[in-house]
Amino acid sequence: MSFVTEHLERSGVPYEVAEHPRAVTSMAEARALGIAADEVVKTVVLITDQGPALVVIPASCRLDLRLAREAIGDHAARLASEDELQQSYSECELGALPPLGSLLGGAPVFVDPEVLEHDTVMFAAGTQTQSIKARSADLFRGAQVRVIPLTRPD
């Protein structure tokens, strides 16, 4: 049992674990799982004046940094570097952060509404070879999340 599945168990969130070949990006994760990219969510970390913030968007979308900065309320917010990610989230492999702010130091979570349009989503479980499938409503239930548009059309 991983620290992510332990957290989901404690939170009472039903889930399924899917093992897959190594996937460094959320798009590669979708390919490895054989599912559409919009069914996989990626977690992006922004460094803000208040500390890290998690931004959760579909793997098929691109983050609009301007929209994310407005949502967070920090126009100087920036993407975390790989070094910052490894320092702050050493329990997770690069590219494999789960969208769980309560598990990752209580970071605020901002979720694009498109994520919630899916009954279930897949997300990285802290490793590049394991993903979790959970109902969107269960995943963010009781969590301090703000749902706001964060992506732009390609």
How confident is the model over 83-130, as pLDDT tens digits? 999 999 999 999 999 999 888 888 999 999 999 999 999 999 999 999
Confidence of residue 2 (pLDDT cuts 50, 70, 90): confident
Q: Which fold has domain 3-152?
A: YbaK protein (3.90.960)
The rounded distance, in Å, linking the Cα atoms of 50 and 118 is: 30
DSSP strands (E only) in 11-115: 16-19, 41-48, 51-58, 62-63, 78-79, 109-111
The rounded distance, in Å, linking the Cα atoms of 79 and 95 is: 13
Confidence of residue 8 (pLDDT cuts 50, 70, 90): very high
In the predicted model, what is the mean pLDDT of residues 36-63?
96
Supply the pLDDT for residue 154.
Answer: 59
